[in-house]
Every structure is written in C-alpha cells, then in structure tokens.
Chains A and B, each alone.
Chain A
Amino acid sequence: MFSGFFYVLRDQGVPVTPTEWMTLMDALNQGLAGPSLSGLYYLARSVLVKSETHYDRYDQAFANYFKGVETTDKLADQVARWLEKSLPRLKIDPSQRVFKDWDLEELKKALEERLAKQKEEHHGGSQWIGTGGTSRFGHSGYNPAGIRIGGESGNRSAVKVAAERRYRDFRADETINTRQFEVALKKLRQLSANDEGPREDLDIDETVEATCKRAGLLELVWEKPRKNTLKLVLMMDSGGSMNPFSRLCSQLFTAASRANHFKDIKFFYFHNCVYDNLFLDPFCSVRNSVKTRDVLRDLSQDYRLIMVGDASMAPSELLMAGGALDWGAENEEPGLAWLERLNRHFHHSVWLNPLTAAEWPPVEATYDTIAYIRRLFPMFELTVEGLERAVNRLKVNK
C-alpha cells in the first residue's frame, strides 16, 4: 500500500528501513490508524521516524504525498455514524444517468453548509446527508454529481498539520587557554566496542565476581581495552576578517593537534567560505590545496566536522557562482552549495564562531551570511563553554 510514500520519505532524507515499513503495514492491518488521514499521519510518524530532527522532513514528505487527499475534518466521525444504518441500494435507470454540470469545490461547500444545518440521521431523502435516496451526499444512494461518504475518509487536518511544519526549528567566558580547549575536546570520544585487540586489562569487577563464584579461589579475568574510535575533521577560516582571532584559533588548533585520543584528525583551511578547493596551510595557496570533492570522497561520513570561522563575508561570496573572493578561483557553484554538501555528507557537524553570540543576527535574518550559515550548521561561540556545547552536539545525530 502506498509504497511510493516510502521512497518519498527516503528522498527527503528520512532514514526509513524496510523493517520499519513492515511494522507500519502490520499496524495498518491491525487497524491502528483508524479511518482518518490524521490517524495515519501520527501512526506512520511514530513508527517510521526516530528523531525529532527528522519530523520536519517527514512533514514535508507527508504533505507532498498526500496533498491530493483532502476533505473536511468533520466528516469522519459524525457522518460515519449516520451512515451505519443503511437502506438497500437504489436501482438506477440508465436513462437517468445524465450528468449535470457540477463543480467539486461548490459541492464541498454545499456539504459543509448542509452538515452545519443537519442535526440528525436522514435516510432515503433527497436533501440531507444519509444512506439511500438521491441526496448528493452519502452512500448507497444515487446522485449523478455527489460525494460518496464511506467508512474511509480523508482528513484535511493531517495534511494541514504536516504542511504547517511545526518541527522546522529542530532541524536542528572569559579568557581561555589551550589547556581548557583540550579538556573540552577530551569529552569528544566514542569508545569502540571491546571486541577487537588482545585481552590485556585486568577487569577488577569480573575478577571479584569470578573469585566469589569459586568460593574464594582467585580467578583473574582480563578484558580488552577500549579505544576511542572518533575521527575529527577541522576546517578553519583564515580569511582577512579572521585576523583578530588568530590567537584564539591557533589555541584551538594546538589543543586539537595535541589531543591524542582521536583515531584520526584532519585539518583544512578555507578563505571565508568553502569552494572547490580546500587548503592545507593557513596561507591558502593554490599550490598546497586539495579538491573539496576528493576530501568528501576520502573522509567517511562518521568524521565529526568542526567548522571554525566568523561566517562574515559579502553575501555574494556565499550566494553567487563565481563569488569567491580570491582572484582566479572561478567557483561554478555558490559557496552555500558547498557548505550544504559538507553538511549533508557529515552526519555530525558544528560551526564555531569567534564572534560572540550577541553579535550574531537572529536566524531568521535574510540578509546576513551568519544567519544563512546558522540555518545550516548549529553555531556555537568559540569559547570553552561554546566548545563544550559543540562537543555535546557532535555526540548526537543532528
């Protein structure tokens, strides 16, 4: 049933799996969605979507897929009750099957009006909503231009709820020194499952346990040490507007390169915004650069991405093809497209901004590059506290 929706969801970037889809089918077979579209909306959402950050994409997919199925909300309950008791079907004389001109909008409006006036069941008449008869509304009856109101009913509210996109928002001081940065970065770890490597650590708890089990006879238990499997990629802006913050950035750089608890760490530089090339040194010379596309291909998606930059530039540098500041860097795509690509590639990404949060324009601002970038990346201040919060953010899926 409507398996197209499955693919619409996946296209929108909601990671639905066949297992979950089968669960939904199971739930539908049990009648859990009820007769209304809003029932389906909530059922499918709770079964298929596993993070509030995907709610918005789900809403869009739902609105998109089900937008054709719209009737008025109130029909479902009330009218369904009237229609439960039904008269036998009317026999139709084929000669009567003349279609008058009719208009669906007009008909819906008439139905709403009639619904407002009608307070009870009617069967067999020609005017009110009921079964049999020739009213334009109801079932088992006949009207050449009528609306069939059966057990199943669409429900505008679900599509409307979806179209409202209420979950859009989820789509997601002082002086500092290197040491503090290091401590903050230390928290960024993801321990490996202990299923590889030799057993070389003494497991005290298990040793006590095993010894007790053998009634006091010592038995040593060894376990495999756990290692951090977290990989990090750091991209730093070294454009002119970053000069005032160079000390701050170099402290972060020192802390990150000193941190030896990462499985892998990579550094790249960019000038104001990322385009086709990423640079390997802070002077941003083309000779010492790599193709951004290659970097994306080489680095797996579980690298944590930390962007560092003031996100301040001329809007054209972000929004226009060929807008790159550097002479000769003929970027065919606007910087924003590259940033989107980075954000899409890496499952975990944050943006650290040396400007204090008070200087950032609100996210809704349409004219400012900081606001544009904040809509893409969760942005934090480049302070110890900001870094801590960014690290926490990097631990969970966006």
Chain B
Amino acid sequence: MANKVVYKGSSDYLASEDLENAVNIAMALGRPLLIKGEPGTGKTMLAKSVAQGLEMPFLIWNIKSTTKAKEGLYVYDTVQRLYDSQFKDRDVSDIKQYIKLGKLGESFVSDTQTVLLIDEVDKADLEFPNDLLWELDIMNFYIPETGETIAAKHRPLVIITSNAEKELPDAFLRRCIFHYIAFPDEEMMARIVKVHYPELEANLLAETLKAFYWLRSIPGLQKKPSTSELLDWIQALVVGGIEPERLSAEIPFLGVLLKKNQDFDQLLRRLSSGGQQRQQGWGIKKFGNS
C-alpha cells in the first residue's frame, strides 16, 4: 500500500477495531468519513484523536442551522470593502484582501495534510450537504470575484458527524464512508474509563459500571446516560469520596446521569413497582437534591 500512515487510536481516545478500520479506509480512498452515533459516544472526540494520532493539523467547522455551504469555502467581506471605499482606508480595487477562506478553504491551502471536522452536519439546511458534493469530491473551488481556483494541495481527511436530526441526501451518502459508533459494552467501557481515570479503584469501577448499565437498561428513558455522563459521575463520586459499597444500595448524584424530569419519574415508578430487590434501598431522598 502506498499510504503507510495508519490510524491506531491515540493516548486519550480508545477506538474500537472497526472504527479504526473505517478511518483508515476513508483515508486510503480519499472519501469523507461520516460518523453517527448516540450523543456522548465521542464522535467529535474521534476527529481530534485522529488528528493527534496522525500528527496532522486539526480544523473544526461547526455547523449551525444558518450555516451556508459557501461559508466553508470563502467569505467575501463586501461590507468591509464598502466601509473602506467610504473612508478611503485601503485600496478597494484589490478584492483579494476581502476574500477570507473558510475552514474547508483553509484545509485546501494548508501545506500539510489536515484533518477537517465538519461537526453536526445535520444541523444545517437540508440542501447543505448537496452543496458541498463537488468540493468534497474534486477538492477544488472557484472564486469568481478574483478569478482564482483554489485546489487542495493535500487532500484533507474529512470527518463529518451527524446526530440524525435530519435525513442526509442519498447523493451525499453515496460518496461517504459510513460508520455508526455503537454504545460501548461493559468491557470496552471499563477500558475507556481507565484511560480517563487511571487511578480508579477496581471495585469502584465495577460497581459504577454495574449501576450505570442497569440504569441504561430501564426501558422508556428519554435520554439514556452516555459515556460523557458516566465520566462526570465517576468524577463526582471520587470528589465526593463515596465508598464503592454504597453504590450497590443507592445512586448518589443521580442528577449527573439523568437530565430529564420524566426520566426521574420513570425511575421512581420502576423502583416503587418492586423492581429488583437490590434497588429497594435506593434513597428517594437523593432525588431531592438534584
């Protein structure tokens, strides 16, 4: 293989084998990598880790509902030019100085290969992904104002994340490499937690994971607690000096894990309707302070 650079995760991010594969496939084929997954499974973190692992510069293009595809290429600051023409500050006939490259443009002109993250692409207008098809395929664009064509010096590795709020157009999907980050199982989760808290006691870890996965298994939760919430919770437990033994009887700081009122109610209903006997002692008073 000509391309010897291979992504193998990085020190602070554990990528599963199939995720690593997907990154390497996208890189070898020069296709954008589309990442979907439950919130909190580390979609955005992945791009950072790829940039770190491959030692490439990292560019982030955050998408909002008002973002237009063209903004990623360049912005022609006409208002500034108008001001300048009125105050005669600068030579307004030189249009080049009013052309500012967007994130995609920046990644094209970079002297080294970059990792470009297009974050939450589904936030934007439905047509947004289609408007970028050409640029992501051919990797160049034309600026009519200056008559310039900006072509990528090095094909950036484009990573796109989506929360599936909107459907992405088929034409766009066809060109992407797709990967869905499944929620990590207990074993993987234990490894992830260890990356973040290497000092954590083994029995505390085991107890937290047990409680965490039990909580996730409750049907009908609107917002299941995710990895990032688990990590916050563990921090809260460590700071609060909670003994591992207490976790088998109650869940302290529940507000860190559950963020919705309805989910509290659901949990309460579950507990009061009998449930498993090990949850009997879970203090209702704990719900008060969250």
Query: In this complex, what residue of B is CB-closest to A26?
Result: B29
Q: Is the CB of A392 within 8 A of B82?
A: no
Decide: A362 and B21 in contact? CB cutoff 8 A.
Answer: no
A41-49, A64-72, A121-129, A177-185: which lies at the interface: A41-49
Is there contact, CB below 8 Å, between A27 and B29? yes
9-residue interface stretch from A4-12, A50-58, A327-335 = A50-58
With A42-B18, A396-B164 given, name 10 new contacts (CB 8 A): A17-B174, A30-B28, A32-B25, A32-B28, A46-B26, A47-B29, A52-B180, A357-B220, A392-B165, A395-B165
Q: Within the complex, what minimum Cβ distance (angstroms) separates A166 from chain B?
A: 7
Contacts of A397 in B (CB 8 A): 167
Q: Indicate whether B228 reaches chain A with its CB closer than 8 angstroms.
A: no
Contacts of A357 in B (CB 8 A): 220
Q: Are B174 and A27 in contact (CB under 8 A)?
A: no
- Chain A residues with CB under 8 A of B167: 395-397
Q: Are B182 and A167 in contact (CB under 8 A)?
A: yes
B164 contacts across to A, CB distance below 8 A: 396
Question: When chains A and B are docked, how far (Å) is the Cα of A357 from the Cα of B220?
Answer: 8
B24: chain A residues at CB < 8 Å are 32
Interface size class of A (residues with CB under 8 A): 35 or more
Residues of B near any A CB (own CB < 8 A): 1, 17-18, 21-22, 24-26, 28-29, 31, 34, 36, 78-79, 81-82, 85-86, 92, 126-127, 164-167, 173-174, 176-180, 182, 219-220, 269
Q: State whether A46 touches B21 (Cβ < 8 A).
A: yes
What is the interface of chain A mostly: helix, strand, loop, or mixed?
helix
* Neighbour of B82 across the interface among A42, A55, A215, A358, CB < 8 A: A215
CB of B258 to closest CB in A, whole Å: 17
Task: Give the shortest distance, in Å, between A92 (CB) and chain B (any CB).
Answer: 36
Whether B219 contacts A362 by the Cβ 8 Å rule is: yes
Complex Cα spacing A32 to B2, Å = 11
Q: Scoring A residues 194 to 225 as 1 if CB is less than 8 Å from chain B, else 0, what string do you get?
A: 00000000000000110011011000000000
Name A166's contact: one of B34, B78, B178, B182 (CB within 8 Å).
Answer: B182
CB of B82 within 8 A of CB of A212, answer yes
12 cross-chain CB contacts under 8 A: A27-B25, A32-B29, A42-B22, A46-B25, A51-B173, A190-B126, A213-B78, A215-B81, A215-B85, A216-B85, A395-B165, A395-B166
CB distance from A393 to the nearest CB of B (A): 10
B178 & A46 in contact (Cβ 8 Å cutoff): yes
Shortest C-beta distance, A396 to chain B (Å), equals 5
Q: Is A23 an interface residue (CB 8 A)?
A: yes
Return the contact of B21 from the options A31, A39, A166 (Cβ within 8 A): A39
Please report which residues of chain A, range 339-378, place their CB below 8 angstroms from some CB of chain B when the two chains form the complex.
357-358, 362
Q: Which B residues are CB-close (under 8 A) to A51?
A: 36, 173, 178, 180
Residues of A within 8 A of B177 (CB): 46-47
Most buried by B among A42, A50, A362: A50
Across-interface contacts of A46 in B (CB, < 8 A): 18, 21-22, 25-26, 177-179
Given contacts A358-B269, A396-B166, contact A193 B127 (CB under 8 A): yes
Question: Chain A's nearest CB lies how many Å from the CB of B35?
Answer: 10
User: Complex formed: what's the CA distance from A278 to B21 in Å?
Assistant: 49
The residues of A that contact B127 with a CB separation of less than 8 Å are 193
Tell me which residues across on chain A come within 8 A of B18, comparing CB atoms. Answer: 42, 45-46
**A212 CA to B145 CA, complexed, in Å:** 13
Give the CA-CA distance A47 to B220 in the complex, in Å.
33
Chain A residues with CB under 8 Å of B79's CB are: 208, 212
Q: Is A120 an interface residue (CB 8 A)?
A: no
Q: Does A19 contact B (CB under 8 A)?
A: yes
A20 at interface (Cβ–Cβ under 8 A)?
yes
Q: Does A286 contact B (CB under 8 A)?
A: no
- Asked if A295 is at the interface (CB within 8 A of a chain B CB), the reply is no
- Whether a CB of chain B sits under 8 angstroms from the CB of A191 is yes
Interface centre among B36, B86, B177, by most chain A C-beta atoms within 10 angstroms, is B177
Q: Which 6 A-B pairs have the closest CB atoms?
A: A52-B180, A212-B78, A50-B173, A42-B21, A46-B22, A212-B82
Could you say which residues of chain A place their CB within 8 Å of the CB of B81?
212, 215
Residues of chain B contacted by A209 (CB below 8 angstroms): 78
